[in-house]
Chains A and B, each alone.
Chain A
Amino acid sequence: MAHVMIVDDSPTVLMSMESLLQRFGHTVVSANTAEDAVDKLRGGEEPKMLITDLHMPGKSGIELIGFLRQHPAHRFTPMLVLTTDSQQDRRDQAKKAGATGWLTKPVDHKQLETALQKLLPNG
């Protein structure tokens, strides 16, 4: 069980990811922009993992990851970006900025489970 943060400007995505994660027994904190995510982290949220969309109003997901990696508390946190199948260059970019990996939209049960197993202790 872990605490996971989801950042996405689409409420639908947030909802579906929340319900998927909760099904695996994780707790979820949602943010709808990168700025919102940073606020919530400053407010004391300590997620064990972060999943963020790439394109959002304001800061992008890649910028968010780059920013969080500077912060000692989030140096080692697994962070995944949500991409579409065709965004190979985006994935590379995200990896460079410090992302651990990616999830391909639409994210299904199996994909999420595999990723969590790979990245979270007792995931």
Chain B
Amino acid sequence: MNALLTQFVAESRDLIETASKALLDLEQNANDKDQIDQLFRAVHTIKGASGLFEFQPLTKTVHAGEDLLDTIRAGDVAFTSEIADVLLEMLDRCVEWLDQVEENEALNDNAATIGEALSDRLRALIDTPVAGAALTDDAPEAEEVALSWPEDIPELDVNGAVTLVRYTPSENAFFTGDDPLRTVQSTPGLVWSRIVPPEDWPVSGEIDPFMLAISFDIVSDAPPQEVEEHFSYVSDEVTFEAIAAASDAPALDEPLRAMASALLASQRELLASDQASPAEEHCTASAGVVLRRIARSIGVTLTPDLDPNNPRATLDAWMALLQPALIKPAPVAAAKPVEAAPEEAVDDGPEPAKQSATPTRANSHLRVSSERIDTLMNLAGELIVAKNAMPFLAQKAEAIDETGELVREIKAQHNTINRISEELQSAIMQIRMVPMSTILSRFNRLVRDMSRKLGKEIQYVVEGEDTEADKAIVDELAEPIVHLIRNSIDHGLEDPAMREACGKQRMGTIHVKAYQHEESVALEVIDDGKGIDVDTVVAKALERGLVDQEKVANMSHAEALQLIFLAGLSTKDAVSDLSGRGVGMDAVASMVRRLGGTIAISSEKGRGTKITMKLPLSMAVQRLMMVEVGDGLYGVPIDRVVESQKIKSSNIRRHRDAEMVVMRDRLIPLVRMRKLFACDSSDADDILSVMVVDVDGRESGLVVDKFHPGVDAIIKPMTGVLSNYPCYSGTALLGDGSILLALNLREIIECQYH
């Protein structure tokens, strides 16, 4: 995609976001002038920018929306929910179209039909019958299809769209130093010009030669902006029209072709019947004009030029040329079906002339593709990893460096590079930080649409939308949040009557709260609906054999509630049984965990439900504790590590197959990593290295061979065959070139239990 198109897509997306927000605000307060203006401006800008490209359906639809908003702005039409519906639909459609543009640099074939229907609906909402007036008001800038060639301008051989300037200087122009003809002659891209005498020339003797009486018609093929700029000193004395050149003529549809054929036949008759009559001159002249028009509208070039001595011969030749084009579909017209036109134009890229019309933005923000930032992030990450090599280097140096000077120096350098690379990383991370509002504001729409559909009254409250997190995290969060909000609306919140019966407010509330919590971002989705019946959850879990009676007996209310996240608990048919809640809860949980986050639920029957998600602020570089198991190095995210301990094997307690150890009065189940990885058992060791990790609030002890120091690493997702091993969350490259496998603790613990 060329830069201009990329800019257009990005800008339009922002504007659509702005427009959606303004629309939803308007629904709360239809008289908010600022919001109407903002909405109008956003739509207007999209329309204007889209005009630079050949996305007619998009331009047309947005134009209809703009006209509608214009009447609303003027107070001619009242803003209603119905209008909001259609406008929101328009914005949705635009998003779809932008996706298509981004993918194919063109709109899909059905865009024209869809756009047409949508425009009609938008226009239908403009009450006033003078809908067309709005069109003509801003015609010069809104031109999508250039006007046809004006009657009074002689046929010109031009390619592409041209601008017709009608320049009527004031009669005092000479006395302001103007020399209008000079201005005319120096018009950029001047194709043709003429002096238009006044309707009423004074008789020769009564002329005031210093009063300007004449005016000018000018045709230029320079970009419209340039032409307008040329006449800027006299902007109130000129009008501009875009007029269609032959090559831009729309393809002939069937009725038009029939009409042209009929015209051609009539000209033939006219010429045949009027041989040698005194009117012959007029006949040939008018036939010539008609033929030229037909030729232009079907995109045929007439050759040879009109021979003044034998016009009839020329006309015959012209007719011969036109005839075949009209009987079967004209070759030019047929080769360019309307749908194909946009693609073609995009292939060529916008003309340089049109590029000059790119809106210049006066803010100091850079729009950088996230790929570039990702590259930068990766490089910074690699620097951090490379820096890890320096302690190894220092170690090596220690062996040969007797004075210790070299070692000291390497360590000092390590510290410096460490500091710089950390600052670099955090600076880049700052770039990647986006406020949660980028996704949270979107759900306004979801809540609105769903509540309307279900006949519920719901208020959507967002708190902490300025909380920032890594863009990747924020983007990934959108999906789980959608699920949670859907669940709340669908199953959590009662309908108004029911709520009143329970002594609650008619209007239910969905409260989404974002905040930073230490090194993670927390997100809460809270509703004041009917809550979850924990007994039903437990019953379901037992019924499906996901948990045994003994375990349940030891569970607290809060713990039992977490069962809802168990895979397989909330299948579709379970929905109605489980007080309607639980749709895809396991799916939500797994999404959050995939991002390295945690999820928890609390609920009180009749009062509501709160789901809390915690996610890392950034996915990029993580600090890992390294452990060694059977000659392999493995990484454990440091925030999961509770403690590392050496214990005596005699302290292990066995319960059936399970091994446990008591540490600080807690009973911690052990996971034999060697066993898990099918290495030779070294159980003979008297002293065991145990790393206690916390997974979803449960502690487990990993029995490893050796502890290693922590390391900063970028964890890259597993690819290829390794991705089939859920025990690993990814790989990381170490400073000395070795590979570290990051452990997926949850899977490892699960493995142990099953």
B interface footprint on A37-80 (CB within 8 Å = 1, 0 otherwise): 00000000000010000000000000000000100000111110
User: In this assembly, does B677 line the interface, its C-beta being within 8 Å of a C-beta of chain A?
Assistant: no
Residues A100 and B233 in contact, CB atoms below 8 Å apart:
yes
User: In this assembly, does A14 line the interface, its C-beta being within 8 Å of a C-beta of chain B?
Assistant: no
Size of the A side of the interface (Cβ < 8 Å), in residues, is: 19
Residues B177 and A76 in contact, CB atoms below 8 Å apart:
yes
Residues A100 and B186 in contact, CB atoms below 8 Å apart:
no
Neighbour of B233 across the interface among A75, A101, A120, A121, CB < 8 A: A101
User: In this assembly, does B113 line the interface, its C-beta being within 8 Å of a C-beta of chain A?
Assistant: no
Q: Within the complex, what minimum Cβ distance (angstroms) separates A13 from chain B? A: 21
Within 8 A of A (CB), among B228-245: 230, 232-233
- A119 and B182 in contact (CB under 8 A), knowing A100-B233, A101-B233, A102-B233? yes
Q: Within the complex, what minimum Cβ distance (angstroms) separates A97 from chain B? A: 9
Q: Within the complex, what minimum Cβ distance (angstroms) separates B408 from chain A? A: 57
Residues A121 and B176 in contact, CB atoms below 8 Å apart:
no
Residues of chain B within 8 A (CB-CB) of A98 are: 175-177
Residues of chain A within 8 A (CB-CB) of B174 are: 75-76
Residues A119 and B230 in contact, CB atoms below 8 Å apart:
no
Cα distance A114–B183 in the bound complex, in angstroms? 10
Cα distance A77–B183 in the bound complex, in angstroms? 15
B interface footprint on A73-108 (CB within 8 Å = 1, 0 otherwise): 001111100000000000000010011111000000
Residues B186 and A117 in contact, CB atoms below 8 Å apart:
yes
Residues B177 and A77 in contact, CB atoms below 8 Å apart:
yes
User: In this assembly, does B178 line the interface, its C-beta being within 8 Å of a C-beta of chain A?
Assistant: yes
Cα distance A122–B174 in the bound complex, in angstroms? 18
User: In this assembly, does B179 line the interface, its C-beta being within 8 Å of a C-beta of chain A?
Assistant: yes
Cα distance A77–B230 in the bound complex, in angstroms? 19
Cα distance A85–B186 in the bound complex, in angstroms? 24
User: In this assembly, does A118 line the interface, its C-beta being within 8 Å of a C-beta of chain B?
Assistant: yes
| Consensus secondary structure, chain B interface | helix
Neighbour of B177 across the interface among A117, A119, A121, CB < 8 A: A119
Closest A residue to B232 by beta carbon equals A101
- A78 and B179 in contact (CB under 8 A), knowing A101-B233, A102-B233, A118-B230? yes
A interface footprint on B170-191 (CB within 8 Å = 1, 0 otherwise): 0000111111001100100000
Closest B residue to A69 by beta carbon equals B175
Neighbour of B186 across the interface among A69, A76, A101, A118, CB < 8 A: A118
Q: Within the complex, what minimum Cβ distance (angstroms) separates A10 from chain B? A: 23
Residues of chain B within 8 A (CB-CB) of A101 are: 232-233
Neighbour of A79 across the interface among B177, B182, B183, B186, CB < 8 A: B177
Cα distance A79–B175 in the bound complex, in angstroms? 10
Size of the B side of the interface (Cβ < 8 Å), in residues, is: 12
Q: Within the complex, what minimum Cβ distance (angstroms) separates B165 from chain A? A: 14
Q: Within the complex, what minimum Cβ distance (angstroms) separates B455 from chain A? A: 53
Closest A residue to B183 by beta carbon equals A118
Residues of chain A within 8 A (CB-CB) of B183 are: 118-119
Residues B175 and A119 in contact, CB atoms below 8 Å apart:
no
Residues B177 and A95 in contact, CB atoms below 8 Å apart:
no
Q: Within the complex, what minimum Cβ distance (angstroms) separates B174 from chain A? A: 5
Residues A95 and B176 in contact, CB atoms below 8 Å apart:
yes
Neighbour of B176 across the interface among A49, A100, A117, A118, CB < 8 A: A100
Neighbour of B179 across the interface among A69, A75, A119, CB < 8 A: A119
Residues of chain A within 8 A (CB-CB) of B182 are: 118-121
Residues of chain B within 8 A (CB-CB) of A120 are: 182
Closest A residue to B233 by beta carbon equals A101
Residues B233 and A76 in contact, CB atoms below 8 Å apart:
no
Cα distance A114–B186 in the bound complex, in angstroms? 9
Interface centre among B177, B178, B233 (most CB of A within 10 A): B177
- A78 and B175 in contact (CB under 8 A), knowing A117-B186, A118-B230? no
Within 8 A of A (CB), among B156-180: 174-179
Residues of chain A within 8 A (CB-CB) of B233 are: 95, 100-102, 118
Q: Within the complex, what minimum Cβ distance (angstroms) separates B175 from chain A? A: 6
Cα distance A30–B233 in the bound complex, in angstroms? 24
Cα distance A69–B177 in the bound complex, in angstroms? 9
Within 8 A of A (CB), among B210-252: 230, 232-233
Interface centre among A77, A114, A118, A121 (most CB of B within 10 A): A118
Cα distance A77–B175 in the bound complex, in angstroms? 8
Cα distance A119–B176 in the bound complex, in angstroms? 11
Q: Within the complex, what minimum Cβ distance (angstroms) separates B654 from chain A? A: 84
Cα distance A100–B176 in the bound complex, in angstroms? 5
Q: Within the complex, what minimum Cβ distance (angstroms) separates A87 from chain B? A: 14
Q: Within the complex, what minimum Cβ distance (angstroms) separates A99 from chain B? A: 7
Residues of chain A within 8 A (CB-CB) of B232 are: 101
Closest B residue to A121 by beta carbon equals B182
Residues A78 and B186 in contact, CB atoms below 8 Å apart:
no
Cα distance A118–B177 in the bound complex, in angstroms? 11
Residues of chain B within 8 A (CB-CB) of A114 are: 230
Closest A residue to B231 by beta carbon equals A118
Residues A76 and B175 in contact, CB atoms below 8 Å apart:
yes
Residues of chain A within 8 A (CB-CB) of B175 are: 69, 75-76, 98
Q: Within the complex, what minimum Cβ distance (angstroms) separates A98 from chain B? A: 5
Q: Within the complex, what minimum Cβ distance (angstroms) separates A83 from chain B? A: 12
Q: Within the complex, what minimum Cβ distance (angstroms) separates A34 from chain B? A: 17
Cα distance A105–B264 in the bound complex, in angstroms? 58
Q: Within the complex, what minimum Cβ distance (angstroms) separates B397 from chain A? A: 60
Residues B230 and A78 in contact, CB atoms below 8 Å apart:
no
Q: Within the complex, what minimum Cβ distance (angstroms) separates B220 from chain A? A: 14
Q: Within the complex, what minimum Cβ distance (angstroms) separates B10 from chain A? A: 27
Residues of B in contact with A (beta carbons under 8 Å apart)? 174-179, 182-183, 186, 230, 232-233
24 A-B interface contacts by CB (under 8 A) = A49-B177, A69-B176, A75-B174, A75-B175, A76-B175, A76-B177, A77-B177, A79-B176, A95-B176, A98-B175, A98-B176, A100-B177, A100-B178, A101-B232, A101-B233, A102-B233, A118-B182, A118-B183, A118-B186, A118-B233, A119-B179, A119-B183, A120-B182, A121-B179
Q: A118-B183, A118-B230 are in contact. List 16 more A-B contacts (CB 8 A).
A: A69-B175, A69-B176, A76-B175, A77-B177, A78-B178, A79-B176, A98-B175, A99-B177, A100-B178, A101-B233, A117-B186, A118-B182, A118-B233, A119-B179, A119-B183, A120-B182
Top-9 shortest CB links A-B:
A101-B233, A78-B177, A100-B177, A117-B186, A98-B176, A79-B177, A100-B176, A118-B183, A77-B177
